[in-house]
Amino acid sequence: MCGIAGIIDLVGARDIDIRVLKRMTDALAHRGPDGEGFFTEPGIALGHRRLAIIDIAGGVQPFKTMDGGGVLITNGEIYNFRDLKRRLEDDRLRFRTASDTEVMAEGLNLHGQDFIEQLRGMYAFAFWSRRERTLILGRDRLGERPLYYAQTPDGFLLFASELGAIRASGLAPLRRRLDALSDYFLFGYVPDPKSVYKGVFKLPPASTLTVRNGAEPILRRYWRPEFNVDREISFEDAKSTLISLIDDAVIAQMVADVPLGAFLSGGVDSSTIVAAMAESGATPTTCTIGFDNAAHDERAFARQIAERYRTKHHEDVVSVDAAALIDKIAGVYGEPFADPSALPTYEVSATARKHVKVALSGDGGDEIFGGYRRYPFFAREESVRRLAPLPLRRALFGAAGAVYPKFDWAPRAMRMKTTLQALGEDSISAYSRSVSAILPDRLSRMLSADFVDATKRYDRLSPVRDAAGADP
């Protein structure tokens, strides 16, 4: 990963204090240990911290286009940059490097925002068009790479890969946002476009922010997932298509000019990736961590995968000081984040760094392939919901759930309180209850009366309902 940061004047072309930008990039030093670079001219300042992956010598940033009309800083990698390079060469462009950075810069310079839709990869970038005096901020389709931005009271816009860099600038007033904290208590994180601070935003996935002098920034969504359900496909055809898609995705992400490996836990995500790497003909370097607590130690499963695919396997046993590690991770995330997997991910990253510079990892496999035990229960509840309208279910099941005792210690058949409550709600409310970090009734007892009063009209599930409308 790399780190990007910048400042643009929204009202004129004032000179920007490079010391402020340096404070921002210093806050991102852990993201880019291989180099630092700056670009400044009246009204704009761009900074970059680099982790070099492709074309170590040629991909230095900020990167100027051949004609000098554009400047790019980016964090990420473009997997299809070689195909895009050939297309741009057909447009008579000549390239000086073998980097994906140059392809991205020249493509944006020639085609503008239309070029973003051709990118396949993980990225957050800032592109400055010197001719048009326009800044484009962009983020990849699934939001793998972070990007925050904020407007200051004196007419500047700041952006950076992490909240810590915005904070380090000293230009943006940071006040806690209560509805964002309310989201955190439900989801375990603060969903975009909000951050935990008022006036500081996350650029949403698959979005751009266009910033021009004297005009309001324009937020645009350039891609949405399509749900084309082919229910006529056979199981064998579906299986072969899925394997082909996974293989293509993994092979595309194995492009690097530095040592590359993979995290391996033995779970469905990492095991699938390692299998695809091995099937491509590579000998993967795999990294696993174990714990003193046997209940959380997955090394045995990881070894099975490592032995089957003959990887170069490395293990470390760690004794996690959770309190100390949480403090360290909190400084990186910059806002509340309650996913416990962040702790082992941090540790396995430290193990991998001893052997490789880039590691592939998986996320979302259980969600895509129905790996959680709650999914079949939810499916059965949903079949019951279809039999009766919500007002009737609320009167019957909701009332019963309110009085039914809670038996966490009893056999599952007797633990019906949660099921009854779920059947008395709509699908989204019920599912959110099942995955909530803290249940709403308990949360209201934990929070101050002022906090409850300030957020009582806030519907935390409204963005979820809007998104669910696109999913058949």
Identity at 390, one-letter amino acid code:
L
Q: How many CA atoms lie within 13 Å of 342's alpha carbon, on the beta-carbon side?
A: 18
Domains of the chain, each with CATH number or no CATH: 3-221 (3.60.20.10), 235-368 (3.40.50.620), 374-468 (no CATH)
Q: How many CA atoms lie within 13 Å of 1's alpha carbon, on the beta-carbon side?
A: 16
The model scores a pTM over 0.75? yes
The residue ranges of DSSP E strands in 216-325, in sequence order, are 218-221, 260-263, 285-291, 312-318
The catalytically annotated residue of 1, 2, 84, 158 is 2
**37: three-class secondary structure by DSSP:** strand
pLDDT one-digit tens code per residue, 173-201: 999 999 999 899 888 999 999 999 999 99
Q: Is the dihedral of CA 263, 265, 269, 270 positive or negative?
A: positive
CA dihedral 441, 447, 452, 457 (to 10 degrees): -60
Q: Quick check: 407 and 414 in contact, CB under 8 A? A: yes
Query: In the numeric block, which tokens belong to residue 56?
Result: 């170590």
Examine the residue annotation and report whether 2 is marked as an active-site residue of this protein. yes
pLDDT one-digit tens code per residue, 349-367: 989 999 999 999 988 888 8
Contacts made by residues 245-253, CB under 8 angstroms, sequence distance 24+: 246/272, 246/276, 247/276, 247/279, 247/280, 249/276, 250/276, 250/277, 250/280, 250/360, 251/276, 251/280, 252/79, 252/80, 252/120, 253/77, 253/79, 253/360
- Supply the pLDDT for residue 410: 62
Place of tokens 């039914």: 404
- Supply the pLDDT for residue 354: 93
pLDDT one-digit tens code per residue, 124-166: 999 999 999 999 999 999 999 999 999 999 999 999 999 999 9
Identity at 344, one-letter amino acid code:
P
Rounded to 10°, the helix 374-385/427-435 angle is 160
Query: Nearest to residue 82, comparing CAs of 92, 70, 72, 95?
Result: 95
The residue ranges of DSSP E strands in 292-382, in sequence order, are 312-318, 358-360
Q: How far apart are CA 190 and CA 204, in angstroms?
A: 12
- Supply the pLDDT for residue 180: 94
Regions of the chain with pLDDT less than 50:
471-472
Q: Is the dihedral of CA 264, 139, 60, 34 positive or negative?
A: negative
